[in-house]
Amino acid sequence: MSETVLVTGGAGYIGSHTALALIAAGHKVVVIDNFVNSKPDALVEVSEMTGHEIVIVEGDARDPKLVEHVLVDNDVNAVIHMAALKAVGESVEMPLEYYGNNLETAISTLGAMRNAGVWRFVFSSSATVYGDPESNPIPEGAGIGATNPYGMTKEMIEVIVRDLAASDDRWKITALRYFNPVGAHESGRISEAPVGKPNNLMPMIMEVATGKRDKVMVFGDDWPTPDGTGVRDYIHIMDLVEGHVAAVEHLENQSGYDVFNLGQGKGVSVLELIRAVEQATGKTIPYEVTTRRTGDIAECVADPTKANEVLGWRTTRSIDQASTDAWNSQQS
């Protein structure tokens, strides 16, 4: 069934790929974005790739009247909420900005939805809510306790939406705890293109591969992991966004609140990711080991069983494919 989905923050890396996946599944897409950390170019590209227009509204999701108008004017059925500041390190340096922006965008969007009578909400949460997990892989029932302000904003919003769903049975809310998205659409036409200095590992490695950066900084090689470097669950961006489509469609028949991990269920170390990119690019990626970063953890890997079973979703793309697709997007 074709529906209209509003994606807040939809011009970013995950948002633009989500728009593509939603259109591929037969849905219409509306985006609100203030373009602080993104540009409209990716959405223009998605429109050209799919032959479907995306309604793009330049504005701030912290403005509830704007969000309400967009919901009503476009007859929106569901919202995927991605609008947020998202750099862990920056959040430690700028906690007020992170708490102010991330909590306000969520509360404002939810208030606008209630006023407009739109009750289906998919929240972009994060594996950072787990903090330093007691064991891996991590199920949704594991204890949570974020170790940085970015993760705390995600944790707080999860509490808000859980309480909201309990207060009124019209709400249908899902939180998706992402692990580490990497790669790009196989066409290479949209990609992870951070404004300013990249904060994530894959774009840093790509900057070395393209000659924009001399080397990758590896934060610690003395972690309790097989090669001493940090281990994360890297998930191909297209697998991740197909999880969003599955979550939106699942909400048609779900009420209340639920939470799902979106990850491969397999850990990849920093050095393993560097080697995968070397294989994909045919280039040597120099790196330098430096001290651990404050707030970092040794390992964070998803148990995706619940999403596999309840949403009928699973990952199908490897880290090698993610590296190849990321490189293709760099070259194009």
Catalytic residue among 13, 98, 130, 150: 150
Torsion of CA 159, 160, 165, 166, to 10 degrees: 70
d(CA 22, CA 29): 7
Per-position pLDDT tens, the chain of length 332: 899 999 999 999 999 999 999 999 999 999 999 999 999 999 999 999 999 999 999 999 999 999 999 999 999 999 999 999 998 889 999 999 999 999 999 999 999 999 999 999 999 999 999 999 999 999 999 999 999 999 999 999 999 999 999 999 999 999 999 999 999 999 999 988 766 677 789 999 999 999 999 999 999 999 999 999 999 999 999 999 999 999 999 999 999 999 999 999 999 999 999 999 999 999 999 999 999 987 789 999 999 999 999 999 999 999 999 999 999 998 88
Which phi and psi (to 5°) does residue 298 adopt? -70, -45
For domain 4-182+234-263, the CATH architecture is 3-Layer(aba) Sandwich (3.40)
Radius of gyration of the chain (CA): 19
Structure tokens at 47: 């429109």
Please, which contacts does 191-196 make with residues 24 or more away whose CB atoms are closer than 8 Å? 191/13, 191/326, 191/329, 191/330, 192/13, 192/237, 192/326, 192/329, 193/13, 193/39, 193/42, 194/13, 194/37, 195/36, 195/37, 195/38, 195/39
Find all residues with CB under 8 Å of 296, minimum gap 6, and list them: 219, 220, 230
Do 5 and 29 touch, CB atoms closer than 8 A? yes
CA angle 218, 220, 222 (to 5 degrees): 140
At 271-329, the pLDDT tens digits run 999 999 999 999 999 999 999 987 789 999 999 999 999 999 999 999 999 999 999 99
Per-residue pLDDT, 1? 81
Per-residue pLDDT, 194? 66
Query: Locate tokens 């969520």: which residue?
Result: 106
Of 295, 291, 297, 289, the residue nearest 218 (C-alpha): 289
232 forms bridges with which residues in the sheet?
A: 268, 300
Please report which residue ranges of the chain form alpha helices under DSSP H.
Answer: 13-24, 41-50, 64-73, 88-93, 95-116, 149-167, 201-209, 237-250, 270-281, 305-306, 319-331
d(CA 10, CA 16): 6
Per-residue pLDDT, 195? 67
**Is 150 among the residues known to form the active site?**
yes
Query: Concatenated DSSP letters for 28-81?
Result: EEEEEE--SS--THHHHHHHHHHT---EEEES-TT-HHHHHHHHHHTT--EEEE
Half-sphere exposure in the Cβ direction for 119 (13 Å, CA): 17
What's 302's DSSP letter? B
Find all residues with CB under 8 Å of 196, minimum gap 6, and list them: none
Per-residue pLDDT, 35? 95
Q: How many residues does the chain have?
A: 332
Do 25 and 2 touch, CB atoms closer than 8 A? no
Cα diameter, the chain: 56
Per-residue pLDDT, 222? 97
Per-residue pLDDT, 296? 85
Hey, where are the domains in the chain?
4-182+234-263
